[in-house]
Amino acid sequence: LFALAFSFTQLISSKEDIKKILIVLALSGGILYMLMMKHNLFDITERLGNELMGNANAFASMILLSVMAAICSIYLSKNKPLWIVMIGVIILDYHMLLLSEGRKYLIAPILFWMILSFKASGFKITRLALIIGIIVIATPIIIGILFSLDVISDTLITRFEMTFAMHEGQSGMMGGG
């Protein structure tokens, strides 16, 4: 890992080099999606990534890097066609994140986007109100869409039931309920 980091520091000489690395990292998620489609790796009986890497969370972490690189590429570029490609990559990556069933991996990119939004525009209360408004409006719409898809609905319901059962079990063990 140190050798890889050292190599990157030797190769990067400008902000444009960083942008290129981010674009390649973002595109790697989209390419992985296409390869998985080609080889029919989405036909799974368990969390996406378990069969491929042995751990769905490790797989989701790699996809999360692609999503965050795509978000950074959008913020660093003024090229509208690149934005469209990066939004497409984010959509494909989110499909993989949904199938990996990692809840934190669905929330982290949204928080990352919010942080970049605040940094890009400076912290303004109107910007915060706009972002909260978008989240309040978009959340029920997205949940409705997700739960209308049987495959995603079944896995999400199962995962949330497991989470609630785990918390109820822990509170019961502590004597709280």
| 83 alpha carbon, distance to own chain's centre | 17
Q: Minimum mean pLDDT among 45-49, 122-126, 140-144: which range?
A: 122-126
Q: What is the spatial distance between Cα 94 and Cα 79, in angstroms, rounded to a whole number?
A: 23
Q: Which tokens in the block code for residue 68?
A: 């965050």
What pLDDT was estimated at residue 153? 65
What pLDDT was estimated at residue 33? 93
Q: What is the spatial distance between Cα 120 and Cα 107, in angstroms, rounded to a whole number?
A: 20
pLDDT digits (tens, 9 = 90+) for 66-120: 999 999 999 888 899 999 999 999 999 998 998 888 778 888 888 888 778 777 7
Please provide residue 160's backbone torsions phi and psi, each rounded to the nearest 5 degrees.
Answer: -70, -35
pLDDT digits (tens, 9 = 90+) for 21-39: 889 999 999 999 999 989 8
Residue 171 has pLDDT above 70, yes or no: no
> By the 8 A CB rule, do 48 and 42 touch?
yes
What pLDDT was estimated at residue 115? 78
Q: Minimum mean pLDDT among 105-109, 133-137, 157-161, 170-174: which range?
A: 170-174
Average pLDDT value for the chain: 80
Q: Which tokens in the block code for residue 52?
A: 């491929």
Q: Could you tell me what percent of the chain has a pLDDT over 90?
A: 25
What pLDDT was estimated at residue 156? 67
Indicate the pTM of the whole model: 0.68
What pLDDT was estimated at residue 172? 45
